[in-house]
Amino acid sequence: MSDKKIDFTIKHVEPATPLTFDGEKCTGCNRCVDACPIDLLMPGSVKGSPPEAAYPDECWYCGCCVMECPSKAVRLRHPLMNRAHWVRKDTLKETPENPEKPSL
Ligand code: SF4
Ligand code: SF4
């Protein structure tokens, strides 16, 4: 067995980025800030600018901010493991990559 020790300390963890704001569309109305049930969003530092996520790791991904935005300027980025790709049963076709149509 090797004597080499493995370093398990976490050196750098990127914060989650649950939301992106389209600065061209956003009017800075802050309706999304008011809609967030956990007060995650803060008004932008400059009047008319998009809000900022104060605690991005705490986001519930509930979508209230997206629904409330009149300018469609908020985009929710779900974590990769939560992104499901639904396929309609009746349009599920055989493909060259998947020659056996799964039994439904
Ligand atoms: S998705 Fe929900 S929890 Fe996350 S910022 Fe929007 S309103 Fe707040
Ligand atoms: S609701 Fe939409 S337009 Fe208003 S501040 Fe939020 S992102 Fe900008």
Distance 87 CA to ligand 1 centre (A): 27
Q: Which CATH class is domain 27-78?
A: alpha beta
* Ligand 2 center–CA 21 separation, angstroms: 8
- Residue range 50-78: average pLDDT? 94
Using a 6 Å cutoff on CB, does residue 74 contact ligand 2?
yes
Whole-angstrom distance, CA of residue 95 vs CA of residue 49: 47
The whole-number pLDDT of residue 95 equals 59
- CA pair distance 93, 74, nearest whole angstrom: 34
pLDDT of residue 67: 96
Task: Using DSSP, state whether 31 is helix, strand or coil.
Answer: helix
Gap between the Cα atoms of 42 and 34, Å rounded:
9
The confidence score (pLDDT) of residue 41 equals: 96
| pLDDT per residue as tens digits for the range 14-48 | 768 899 999 999 999 999 999 999 999 999 999 99
pLDDT above 60 (res 104): no
* pTM, rounded to two decimals: 0.72
